[in-house]
Amino acid sequence: MAASGNFVRPSKPVKSATRAFRRQRATALALVPLALILVAVIVALSGTDYETARHYLGNPLVAIFLVLLVGAGVVHMRIGMMEIIDDYVPNAFLRHLTLLANYAFAIAVGLGCLYAVAKIAIGF
């Protein structure tokens, strides 16, 4: 099926689009309580000194929560940008290039955030 007129072939099959839709909704649902917990942590740490905040964030349960928050946030961000790229980049080569850049950026952000959490939690 060749592209003709205003029709642009989707860059992914329908099954993949449904999976992305479900993942997007699942991460959004997971981010709601995680964001509320993050707000509670920020409020609890307001007015404390650096060492107290670092000690609190170094708690393994808080570190696990932060890892879940980073993971859900990065996946949600990647899928959202992927949908925007699929919708607004008509050139197939440029679309694949920007999707690759989107994926690399999500990995870089995720690894950077996980490094920060590990550095606080483990203290290296």
What confidence category does residue 123 fall into, taking pLDDT thresholds of 50, 70 and 90? confident
Render pLDDT for 46-77 as a digit per residue (tens, 0 to 9): 999 988 988 998 899 999 999 999 999 999 99
Residue 12 has pLDDT above 80, yes or no: no
| CA angle (112 as vertex; 106, 113 as ends), nearest 5 | 90
Q: What is the mean pLDDT of the chain?
A: 88
Q: What single DSSP character describes residue 47?
A: T
Query: Span 95-108, mean pLDDT?
Result: 97
Is residue 119 within 8 Å of residue 31, measured between CB atoms? Answer: no
Render pLDDT for 73-94 as a digit per residue (tens, 0 to 9): 999 999 999 999 999 999 999 9
For residue 9, being part of any structural domain is answered with no
pLDDT score for 1: 47
Is residue 85 within 8 Å of residue 95, measured between CB atoms? Answer: yes
For residue 7, being part of any structural domain is answered with no
Domain that holds residue 114: 14-122
The CATH code of the domain that includes 38 is 1.20.1300.10
For residue 113, being part of any structural domain is answered with yes
For residue 3, being part of any structural domain is answered with no
- Please state the φ and ψ torsions of residue 47, each to the nearest 5 degrees: 85, -5
pTM of the model: 0.80
